[in-house]
Amino acid sequence: MTDKIMEKINQLVKSQPVILFMKGTPQAPMCGFSANTVRILKDLLGDNFATFNVLEDQAVREGIKAYGQWPTIPQLYVKGELVGGNDIVTEMYNTGELHELLGLDPPDRSVPEISITDEARKHIESGIAELADQVLYLTIDDQFNTRFSVETPKGYEVVADAAGIPIYMDIGTAKRANGIEIDWVDDIQGSGLVIKNPNEPPPVKDITPKELKQRLEAGEPIRVYDVRSEQQMATGTVPGARRLDKKAVEEIETLPKETPLVFVCNLGNSSQGAAEFFRKKGFTNVHNLKGGMMAWQNMAG
């Protein structure tokens, strides 16, 4: 590593109280380890931390490994000192050491209340009968994607009792799991566990062109985003709509979670995906323009 690269990295490390060297950006992580570390930092600090995308600078990508004598990415630095990579950050987050390092209150380790139907309990008990030293692990990420897995316990988990079945989880999951209901379904799509989570943001709502027009004319503070290309938008869009580009995505992420959002495309399909993305980010007032611009233009015609 040259002195020039060493100095650049040193300036980056010293310039911010908290900086994460990662693959991609917080809005678009390019590896699962970077994504998980970003989720932890957002949970603790919101957007009050810096990042550096090593994929945009090969010299820094290789140099940071030599700088801290740490072979992998991501790498977290706090007050100029290397904390470690994803595994260490995850462990420190769950034990509360990361909270202490960042000057935060200790984590809430409250055990969530979980209900389970008799049918679901029977199937789970059958599945975990031969686990030996492993346990049933529940993960609910910050976008409320939920999964069960079989893991070796690490010792820092929160453990909930669901009708006699111990369910292990990290502290982030514990916050999002209170009040969940675990059921078992048999239908045309197959059989399996179904989890109802009252903490999950409300579903995306359809909004008709007529309703959107009325609400805009009434001066409601609705933000409308068009997911189409610039060329498609040039043929017409909803008055006041902004194109959903990188800058717009960053803007949305700074808004209060209750901000009314409406997403628009040609027919209402691509915009539904964008709306779901932001719903899973925690936005609670998200709409999709029913029928898209075709319906809007037909209404105008």
**In the block, which residue shows the tokens 């669901």?**
162
31 is catalytic: no
How far is the C-alpha of 264 from the C-alpha of 287, rounded, in Å?
Answer: 9
How far is the C-alpha of 236 from the C-alpha of 227, rounded, in Å?
Answer: 13
Strand order in the sheet with 205-207: 205-207, 286-289, 261-264, 223-226, 242-243
- List the structure tokens of 136: 């049933």
Calculated CA dihedral for residues 217, 218, 221, 226, nearest 10 degrees: -30
How far is the C-alpha of 254 from the C-alpha of 258, rounded, in Å?
Answer: 12
Of 265, 274, 275, 286, which residue is the catalytic one?
A: 265
Determine how β-strand 18-22 pairs with β-strand 75-78: antiparallel
The catalytic site residues sit at 265
